[in-house]
Amino acid sequence: KKGNWDQAHRIVQDEGDANSAWVHAYLHRVEGDLGNAGYWYRQAGQPVAKDTLEAEWERIVATLLAQRG
């Protein structure tokens, strides 16, 4: 979210869990690569986001924080 797309992409690209796939999908959506984003949404088990990038980011953060307990 801090604007370093390349670093964020490298981090999630090497992870195999659903949460990383969701962030990966989001990053491709930010990039405008919706086809690749669709693949990563499927890997994450998430529907393709239709709302704003900001709204999706807030949803991702809220979900990840809730999982931490």
pTM of the model: 0.86
- pLDDT category at 60 given cuts 50, 70, 90 is very high
Contact (CB, 8 A) for 26 and 53: yes
* Residue entry with tokens 């086809």: 35
Report pLDDT digits (tens) over 8-59.
777 777 788 999 999 999 999 999 999 999 999 999 999 999 999 999 999 9
- Give the C-alpha separation, 62 to 37, whole Å: 20
Mind giving me the DSSP string for 40-56? HHHHHT-PPP-S-HHHH
